[in-house]
Amino acid sequence: MTERSDSTRRGFLTRTAAAGGLAMVPGLLSACSRTQVGTGAPVGDGDLLAKLRKQGYVRVGFAGEAPYGYQDGGRLAGEAPTLHREIFKALGVPELRPTLTDFGALIPGLSADRFDVVSAGMAITPDRCHKVIFSEPEFVSPTSLMVREGNPKGLSDLASCAREQATVGVLTAAVEADYADAAGVPSSRVKALAKQQDGVDALLAGRIDAFALTGISLRWLARTNKGAAVEVLDPFLPVVGGKKQYSPGGAVFRPDATGLRDAFNGQLKKITSDPDHYTSLIGRYGFTKAEVPPANLRTAQLCKA
């Protein structure tokens, strides 16, 4: 799975163009501290949840990327908005008010108080943990393989690709190339592809035997290529340097919004503790029980990784 940088989401998602009606955050906003007018003193969030309950809505930033957070027929859709709508409704805040921005501007926009929460399935990384605070993981992103229909080489994971001398497609600069290397796939059998659709096309043309990406994205890709003679295999966790690669994502809050974050986590746990409820909410976006974060996978650990 490709690492999400400040300028891209993960490097493999196709950005969804937004229709009218949602505000755009201009440019790359500079991260700044909020201060009281006339004094320059820092402003804390105080009881932000009480404020949100009183006004009846929470401002959320999203990046227009399916299946994580995007606009579908004028409605905010995707994994993160769907979970967040459920959670905030349980907290007494019935409405999400969305702001569309580039992925790289989400954290600066949050810091500049343009929204209260980032609702974009953002990866939890140590670098980001220095700037913002994350919820507990909303999902994990196991890797999977897309193969030609019938799985002619009998593949299951990257180790099987190495054994069967399969040619594996990965996105350019994506971490799946490192996963393939760790599993023993020689570099001569790893083919870099520019975008997701190239993986489907290369499979159908016989130029590769498998396309490696997250199961979430591959299932979404199969859905958008309905009828294509390909199938997505069961997800697996790559191992690099003896460590399983979970690649979790979560909601993002300003550092002073600990009360709101903690209340959010309380409701999130109720959802992730019930895999059937979890998949009933976001299964339509390609999330399965394999994406339910393990109970012992905690953000505090991920921020130190």
Give the tens place of pLDDT for each residue, 234-267. 999 999 989 899 989 999 999 999 999 999 999 9
pLDDT above 70 (res 116) = yes
pLDDT tens sequence across 49-82: 999 999 999 999 999 888 999 999 889 999 999 9
What is the enclosing helix (H) or strand (E) of 73? none
Q: What is the pLDDT of residues 209-228, one digit of tens each?
A: 999 999 999 999 999 999 99
Please give the domain boundaries of the chain with CATH numbers for all domains: 23-140+247-304 (3.40.190.10), 143-244 (3.40.190.10)
> Amino acid letter at 298?
R
CA distance 39 to 77: 40
Dihedral Cα 144, 148, 151, 155, nearest 10 deg: -40
Cross-sheet strand order for the sheet of 133-134 = 23-24, 95-100, 57-62, 117-123, 249-253, 133-134
User: Can you give the pTM of this predicted structure?
Assistant: 0.77
